[in-house]
């Protein structure tokens, strides 16, 4: 049976939007591993940009944050308002150097839930999005002891059956 991207996106809405934020928030001049994620290909400058960090395996990638935290697994969340101009960057701390799966949400209406026909989604590695969630290996990035800069291209629903980048936006 084909898993829909809607199923993967259903993992994005959280019952407790603040879980993982304290651990994920970057603070000025704080040492340690972190990702500085630059979002590209935004449809517009509305709403929030949210990055979530997961263990780099298919079982835990996009799993419910309550379950991950409750079982002592890695989960981090960072979000910011999308600025009216300039680069859109979100910094998220990692617990240690290593490989992590990341998801990025452009929550255009700011309701902290994924809206299939409204919001954008992206992953490191820029996997082709169809009607299945990507494998964790397609959304994984490595972080060292400092800040690692990565770019994530946003994808939006286009028609009934596909997701992809907005044409003409990089």
pLDDT of residue 161: 56
Alpha carbon dihedral 79, 88, 29, 143, in 10-degree steps, equals 80
30-66 residue pLDDT tens: 899 999 999 999 999 999 999 999 999 999 999 999 9
Lowest mean pLDDT among 1-5, 20-24, 50-54: 1-5
> Predicted confidence band at 90 (pLDDT cuts at 50, 70, 90)?
very high
| Average pLDDT, integer, range 85-104 | 96
CA distance 12 to 24: 16
CA distance 115 to 13: 9
Mean pLDDT rounded to a whole number for the chain: 86
Asked whether 43 and 120 are in contact (CB, 8 A), the reply is yes
113-133 residue pLDDT tens: 888 889 999 999 988 887 788
Q: Please name the residue that has the structure tokens 């829909």.
A: 4
What are φ and ψ of residue 24, in 5° steps? Answer: -90, -20
pLDDT of residue 6: 45
| Average pLDDT, integer, range 67-91 | 95
> Predicted confidence band at 163 (pLDDT cuts at 50, 70, 90)?
low
Asked whether 90 and 105 are in contact (CB, 8 A), the reply is no
Whether residue 14 is predicted with pLDDT greater than 80 in this model: the reply is no
In DSSP terms, 98 is beta-bridged to 143
């Amino acid at each position: 049976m084909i898993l829909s991207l809607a199923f993967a996106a259903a993992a994005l809405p959280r019952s407790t939007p603040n879980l993982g934020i304290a651990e994920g928030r970057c603070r000025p001049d704080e040492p340690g591993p972190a990702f500085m994620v630059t979002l590209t290909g935004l449809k517009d400058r509305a709403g929030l940009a949210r990055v979530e960090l997961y263990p780099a395996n298919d079982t835990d990638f996009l799993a419910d944050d309550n379950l991950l935290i409750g079982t002592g697994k890695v989960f981090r969340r960072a979000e910011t308002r999308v600025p009216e101009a300039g680069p859109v960057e979100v910094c998220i701390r990692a617990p240690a150097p290593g490989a992590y799966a990341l998801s990025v949400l452009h929550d255009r209406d700011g309701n902290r839930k994924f809206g299939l026909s409204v919001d954008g989604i992206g992953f490191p590695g820029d996997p082709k999005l169809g009607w299945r969630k990507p494998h964790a290996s397609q959304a994984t990035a490595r972080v060292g002891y400092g800040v690692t800069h990565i770019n994530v291209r946003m994808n939006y629903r286009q028609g009934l059956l596909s997701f992809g980048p907005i044409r003409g936006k990089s």
